[in-house]
């Protein structure tokens, strides 16, 4: 295989298996598996994403003030 194809596959798998993607996707998958309700899983995904963004924002502001 040439280098461009290897680079493409490396970038592709790197973006799919990114920890941020798993962090945002796992609450949906867990709730959906437990309830089998897409609406309920999406609701909890939204709540989790909001609280993660709030937490990350406070963390970044706290690190910036040092």
Residue 46 has a pLDDT of 93
pLDDT (tens place) for every residue of the chain, 66 residues total: 678 888 888 888 888 778 888 888 899 999 999 999 999 999 999 999 999 899 989 988 888 776
Residue 66 has a pLDDT of 63
**Closest listed residue to residue 47, CA positions, set 33, 23, 20, 27:** 27
Report the Cα 7 to chain-centroid distance in Å: 23
Answer whether 28's CB lies under 8 Å from 41's CB.
Answer: yes
Q: What's the whole-model pTM score?
A: 0.63
Buried b (16+ CB within 10 A) or exposed e, 32-57: beeeeeeeebeebbeebeeeeeeeee
Write out the two tokens for 37.
């309700």
């Amino acid at each position: 295989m040439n280098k461009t194809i290897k680079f493409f596959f490396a970038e592709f798998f790197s973006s799919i298996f990114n920890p941020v993607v798993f962090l945002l996707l796992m609450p949906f998958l867990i709730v959906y598996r437990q309830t089998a309700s897409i609406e309920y899983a999406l609701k909890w995904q939204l709540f989790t994403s909001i609280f993660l963004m709030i937490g990350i924002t406070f963390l970044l502001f706290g690190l910036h003030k040092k």
